């Protein structure tokens, strides 16, 4: 049995499933593959949002961004930060005597809400330096005899400030080998276009992943040398999908279905098909260390610990985990485009709250060479991956996809009468989740139900339609939305397996 319960959490930046252990071709990631061979590799792991700060806040709080307040990037100019009252992983683990620390990228705030005891923030891509700092942390843990919770936030494989670079031309420690991937070597994923600019960027992206992979190996070597590996839960994941159009900042699977590997010191290796969410990460950490708040006493966190299914193979996975939810509102401060989604094994439903707005660009994607190639294409009909250009920028209020037959989420079934009952059921289930999580972006008639809830008792009638209709503005002779909705812990989310509902 493990006496000390330690946790090592490693977060990559903008990494999709471009890893050989996830079947990617043309790239080798031996250190991450080795971790996967010793731990549980989750094939259906989902971020709540495909934006860096927001996703990290979900990992650290177990709350979706509309619950924790980290609506977008935590830069000084944007100033999106987590609410002061929210409990976070470092605060909870400090209370149990763990030595908490973070090395590298932090990108959440404010600092008092994330009170890591050891705080070594940097934007370095020198993964050997990061590993040396981790080794020092492990040595200090060995000296004071306390359990630890260490987070390492990698900068790779995020883009750098150039128009196609990924930090591959810096001066790094000699222990870090340079990647040798060339444009002809790469596998172009189907959600992007196979163009010269894309291939050049993907080669640089692969080289950045190559450096990340070495860093993971160096940290795990330091953990082994410290003799702490046998008491440490190791978690490796990414914050959001690749920094290419059709992925990052979207809630399509390319942006939110991500790598997650968890190595338990006493469990066998496995591949799990359980559908899991990043809101499950904090409960898993707390469960592993035996924290009394594994179940949130305030009932705000609805994630579940994964501890029971770590080490369980596909045919032993928790069949109760059959759907996930997601919440995106901002990326950069000018990127307001709130969306919510529900996804089960076969179908995915998106509710786009501000669908009348153009879908916004993240600045690193707008400046990319891959987008430059797409927008200047000579094709008669320009596409982004397999999606029509106009369908990327101008989306309807609802999207429904049959992922079994349309994994790239291209053919929107929301207006298909054959899928009407399914659409209504998924919409209803999503809204129950919005009520349970007190989401102010539950809309009717184009307004927030949450902010207008006080008026229902006084006779307010909100038409039972998603958006305001200027051709029928009246609210008297129309069906009204039921104002007697429950919020928060009063709502029960029913988990169920979804089959074919057509």
CB atoms within 10 A of CB 110: 12
* 13 closest CA partner among 268, 241, 281: 241
- Decide: 235 and 220 in contact? Cβ < 8 Å: no
Cα–Cα distance between 335 and 133 in angstroms, integer? 35
pLDDT of residue 377: 97
User: Residue 471's pLDDT is what?
Assistant: 96
For the chain, the farthest-separated pair of C-alpha atoms sits apart, in whole angstroms, at: 74
- The residue extents of the domains of the chain are 6-328
Could you tell me where the DSSP H helices lie in 226-346? 253-256, 281-289
CA-angle at 119, arms to 113 and 120, nearest 5°: 140
* Strand, coil or helix: 102: strand
Annotated catalytic residue 52: yes
pTM above 0.85, yes or no: yes
Catalytically annotated residue among 52, 186, 362, 442 = 52
**Cα gap 275→291, rounded to integer Å:** 24
* CA distance linking residue 18 with residue 492, whole number of Å: 37
How is residue 249 annotated by DSSP?
A: T
| Secondary element (H or E) of residue 277 | strand 270-277
The pLDDT assigned to 499 comes to: 37
Using alpha carbons, select from 66, 30, 112 the residue that is nearest to residue 351. Answer: 66
The pLDDT averaged over each successive group of 10 residues in the chain (502 residues) is: 83 98 96 98 98 98 98 89 98 97 98 98 98 98 94 98 96 97 96 98 98 98 97 98 98 98 97 96 98 93 96 70 96 97 98 97 97 97 97 98 98 98 98 98 97 95 97 96 92 52 38
Give the pLDDT confidence score for residue 495 in this predicted structure. 43
Give the whole-angstrom CA distance, residue 67 versus residue 454.
20
| CA angle at 10 for the pair 9 and 16, rounded to the nearest 5° | 130
> CA 256, CA 249: separation in Å to the nearest integer?
9
Mention every residue, 6+ apart, whose C-beta is less than 8 A from residue 323.
Answer: 275, 342, 343, 344, 345, 429, 495, 498
Q: What is the DSSP string of 190-212?
A: TTS---HHHHHHHHHHHHHHHHH
pLDDT at res. 1: 39
* 476 burial level (CB within 10 Å; 0-12, 13-18, 19+): exposed
* Residue 217 dihedral angles phi and psi, to the nearest 5°: -60, -40
CATH fold group of domain 6-328: Alkaline Phosphatase, subunit A (3.40.720)
């Amino acid at each position: 049995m493990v006496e000390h319960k330690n946790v090592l959490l490693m977060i990559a930046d903008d990494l999709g499933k471009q890893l050989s252990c996830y079947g990617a071709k043309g790239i080798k990631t031996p250190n991450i593959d080795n971790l996967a061979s010793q731990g549980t590799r989750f094939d259906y792991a989902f971020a709540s949002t495909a934006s860096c700060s927001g996703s990290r806040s979900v990992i650290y709080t177990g709350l979706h961004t509309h619950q924790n307040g980290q609506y977008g990037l935590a830069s000084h100019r944007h100033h999106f930060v987590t609410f002061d009252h929210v409990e976070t992983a470092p605060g909870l683990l400090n209370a149990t005597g763990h030595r908490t620390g973070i090395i590298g990228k932090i990108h959440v705030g404010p600092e008092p809400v994330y009170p890591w005891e050891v705080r070594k923030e940097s934007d370095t891509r020198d993964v050997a330096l990061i590993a040396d700092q981790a080794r020092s942390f492990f040595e200090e843990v060995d000296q004071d005899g306390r359990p630890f919770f260490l987070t390492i936030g990698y900068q790779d494989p995020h883009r750098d400030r150039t128009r196609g670079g990924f930090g591959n031309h810096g001066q790094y420690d000699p222990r870090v080998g340079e990647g040798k991937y060339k444009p002809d070597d790469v596998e172009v994923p189907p959600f992007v276009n196979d163009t010269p600019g894309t291939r050049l960027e993907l080669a640089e992206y692969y080289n950045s992943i190559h450096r990340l992979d070495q860093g993971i190996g160096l940290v795990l070597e330091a953990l082994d040398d410290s003799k702490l590996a046998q008491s440490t839960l190791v978690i490796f994941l990414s914050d959001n999908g690749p920094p290419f159009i059709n992925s990052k900042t979207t809630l399509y699977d390319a942006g939110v279905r991500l790598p997650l590997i968890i190595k338990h010191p006493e469990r066998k290796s496995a591949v799990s098909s359980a559908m899991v969410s990043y809101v499950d990460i904090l409960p898993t950490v707390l469960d592993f260390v035996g924290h009394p708040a594994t179940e949130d006493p305030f009932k705000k966190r609805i994630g579940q610990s994964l501890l029971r299914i770590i080490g369980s193979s596909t045919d032993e996975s928790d069949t109760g985990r059959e759907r996930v939810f997601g919440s995106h509102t901002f990326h950069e401060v000018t990127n307001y485009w709130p969306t919510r989604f529900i996804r089960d094994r076969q179908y995915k439903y998106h509710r786009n709250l501000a669908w009348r707005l153009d879908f916004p660009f993240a600045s690193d994607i707008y400046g990319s060479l891959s987008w430059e190639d797409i927008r200047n294409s000579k094709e008669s009909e320009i596409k982004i991956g397999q999606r029509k250009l106009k369908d990327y920028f101008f989306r309807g209020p609802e999207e429904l996809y049959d992922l079994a037959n349309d994994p790239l989420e291209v053919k929107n079934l929301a207006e298909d009468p054959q899928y009407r009952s399914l659409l209504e059921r998924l919409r209803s289930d999503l809204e129950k989740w919005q009520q349970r999580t007190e989401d102010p972006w539950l809309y009717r008639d184009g307004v927030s139900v949450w902010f207008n809830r006080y008026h229902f008792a006084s006779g307010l009638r909100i038409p039972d339609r998603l958006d305001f209709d200027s051709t029928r503005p009246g609210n008297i002779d129309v069906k009204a939305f039921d104002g007697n909705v429950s919020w928060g812990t009063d709502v029960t989310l029913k988990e169920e397996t979804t089959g074919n509902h057509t």
